[in-house]
Structure 1
């Protein structure tokens, strides 16, 4: 059982959110779950459920990276090639590249990641940080 049960993300447009999130989450092994006019969910085994939600007003203000609140969601993947593959899938689905796949030695000498944002400013990261060889 995961400690974090679900993560709800409000997007500027639910159908556009579906088009952008669905290919990425499918590539990560998530299956589509419950959906209606107000929300849509994805599930994977015992992972945290991800739920996209429609905005509550007609003119939602996009998220601004760096403000108090949401920062980004990082997906840990098995290899550098997976980082690159998921980055390509996201960009093809309409995500905007923020940082292309590269090493981040300020985190660890093994850290390799990319960052993308959706139309509403929601940022996700694909990262690979293998354990240090013992």
Structure 2
């Protein structure tokens, strides 16, 4: 059973959001599906990421640290892949929150980066292998 069936997010500008999200999700193995009322990506399972337009223009961006969204972490298989995906995100217009680095405060194996899109939606590329 999937932990999450779908995650829906509201954005100010669907075409601009697609330009930022599609390069990353495509690299992560997701397939984009356009619809009249938004866009979604899935990885061949039930888990789907959905973007829909805001009901009222100018209600964004989300402010990190306020009630609501904190961030979504993608499980990445290596530090090198974290670096590569981080570069793809930056090239697609994501704002760097934290460059790729080790996070020993989490554990000695943790390596991650954080980026934020134009809507204030923050994601993390996290390499966090199991303890040996």
Equivalent position of 1:62 in the other structure = 61
TM score, norm. by length of structure 2: 0.96
Q: How many residues align?
A: 132
Matches of 1:115 and 1:107, distance apart in 2: 15
Equivalent position of 2:11 in the other structure = 11
Q: 1:35 to 1:28 in 2, by over 3 A?
A: same
Matches of 1:21 and 1:47, distance apart in 2: 19
- TM-superposed CA distance for 1:47, in Å, is 5.7
Give SS of 1:15's match: helix
TM score, norm. by length of structure 1: 0.94
**Structure 1 spans left out of the alignment, 5+ residues:** none
Equivalent position of 2:32 in the other structure = 32
CA RMSD of aligned residues (A): 1.1
Over 3 Å off, 4+ runs: none
Equivalent position of 1:131 in the other structure = 130
Matches of 2:106 and 2:24, distance apart in 1: 24
**Structure 2 spans left out of the alignment, 5+ residues:** none
Equivalent position of 1:114 in the other structure = 113
